[in-house]
Amino acid sequence: MTCLALACAHQGPRPPPLTGWRELQSSHFRLRTNLPEDSSRSTLEKLETLRWWLQAAWSTGGDSPGTTEAIVLSDPAELAGFTPSPGIATISRDGPLLVTAGQPEGFLGDRSPAANLLAHEVAHELIRHRMPGAPRWFHEGLAGYLETIFAIDDRQVRFGILRADQLYWRPTNLAGQTQIGATGNAVPRNLLSLEETESRRWESATPGELNELYLSARLWVGVLRTQEPMRMQALEAALAGGASWRRAWADLRSGLDVARLQEKVFWSTLQSVNFPNEVRTVTPPPAHAGRPDGDRLLARWEVHLTLADLWEMAARTSGGQALAPRVRQELDAAAADAPDEPLSHIRLVELERDPDVRRERAEALVQRFPGSAEARVLLARVLRDDGGPVEGRREAALAAVTAAPNNVDALTAHAIEEVRSGNAAGALKSVARAGQLEPWNPAVFVAQALVLGSIGLCQDAVDAVQRALDVLPDNPPPVDVQTLVRERQRIGQSCARAGP
């Protein structure tokens, strides 16, 4: 991954073109790419197959719900204009978003991204569903561990085998060289204890410290999975049952013999070349997996929307705030190219900061585009977040959830309006469905807290706000944390006064 990033730096960023883009859809992915057609199809097939195999890593089984947006640029030089990373798995306005680039030169002409790179990013999305609220060390460690996936045959996959270059110190300013010690041997990377791995701040780490963190987290996850399988299965079951990561890990961590793992397993791993690994049984992917259900060329305005998604991703990264105007530029260009298409206008409304103006413009879009599910969801979300006159709010929420029954914004808006009208059962059903779809989304638990608090389930409501805090991404904006802390305090106080 580091080598790919260095290759980008040597080439220099290059803006992606506005032509040659296509969209492909499958059961779990919507892929937008400017790769050649054959490489586009190969990428989608890899995504579906890897997703199917990776889910075998969890003992709880089952198929995670929802779809993932994937944007794959033609080569790393185009990606470098948005991020120095070779791949990113994040959350966009439409849910999970995977961004990476193809290979400049591929095997037999296939320029689709390398399988381990795709596996790493797909693993991140699965972890959000299956282990919501997992801390950065575990999240990155597990994704790094799972990216080592290797198909032994059509019935078994293996995780955990590391390459030799991942275990030895390789400074980025000496690309291709390995540091040699006084004895003439390669110097192993510094490995951190579990306590250090858990406590280090990833956001403020230097590049060298990040290398240590990534490797240490990956090896600790491997050790925990292979040496403490029952404990890890208990963790997976607790999270699948709705427990918060904070509570589940605290319970399991308390009985962990860390000294034994570090003394007998962790450090010996580096010396023996017998790294922790596991083999899992898989079934063949379903016949439809990896085969696109839809394949079409993107219009120019849709390419502008895709570039807006990329700039929005870049603007959310550390130090990227100055890139926010590029989002509006692309949206304005999309709206100019296709004035009768609602999506660019909806995105522009979302950029509006004045709540009254935002509400008026959302209402106007529903009138202008009555058949657009996205416009109805936008209005429901704006009314949910900004309030406004009570009249018409329940109708707007019902229209949104009818048009988009699996949209979390529509479901949570519907839940809040249902509980206002006295339909607590309907409200609880909607927030439960939202939680199944996006257990990593703080807004789901805030809505759940409002519903629970309104029917007198005070402690459950406070716990739901705590879950919202638990699933915030690492290093969240302080204002987001403060808002949730105040909400937790408000619900606790007001609910207690009202009584059950």
Does residue 312 lie in a domain region? no
Does residue 73 lie in a domain region? yes
Does residue 209 lie in a domain region? yes
- Residue 188's domain comprises 2-281
pTM reported for the whole predicted model: 0.88
CB distance 170 to 144 below 8 Å: no
**Distance between CA atoms of residues 386 and 396, nearest Å:** 14
Strands (E), 64-112: 68-73, 87-92, 95-101
Predicted local distance difference test score (pLDDT) of residue 189: 58
**What separation, in Å, do the N-terminal and C-terminal C-alpha atoms of the chain show?**
54
- Report CA torsion sign: 26, 27, 31, 36: negative
**Structural domain total, the chain:** 1
Q: Is 142 left (phi over 0), alpha (psi -120 to 50) or beta?
A: alpha
Does residue 490 lie in a domain region? no
Predicted local distance difference test score (pLDDT) of residue 7: 41
Max Cα distance, the chain (Å):
79
Q: Which of 69, 130, 141 is nearest to 438 (CA)?
A: 130
Nearby residues of 399 by Cβ (< 8 Å), 6 or more positions away? 376, 380
**Distance between CA atoms of residues 64 and 122, nearest Å:** 12
Does residue 65 lie in a domain region? yes
Does residue 231 lie in a domain region? yes
CA dihedral 352, 353, 359, 360 (to 10 degrees): -60
Predicted local distance difference test score (pLDDT) of residue 264: 62
Ordered DSSP codes for 33-64? E-S-HHHHHHHHHHHHHHHHHHGGG-TT-S--
Does residue 297 lie in a domain region? no
- Give the mean pLDDT per block of 10 residues along the chain (500 residues): 41 88 94 96 94 94 91 95 92 90 80 94 95 93 93 90 53 39 52 88 83 87 90 94 91 88 65 70 76 80 97 88 93 97 96 94 96 96 87 93 96 94 93 94 93 90 91 81 88 66
CB distance 141 to 37 below 8 Å: no
Does residue 332 lie in a domain region? no
- The CATH code of the domain that includes 39 is 1.10.390
H or E element that contains 311: helix 300-316
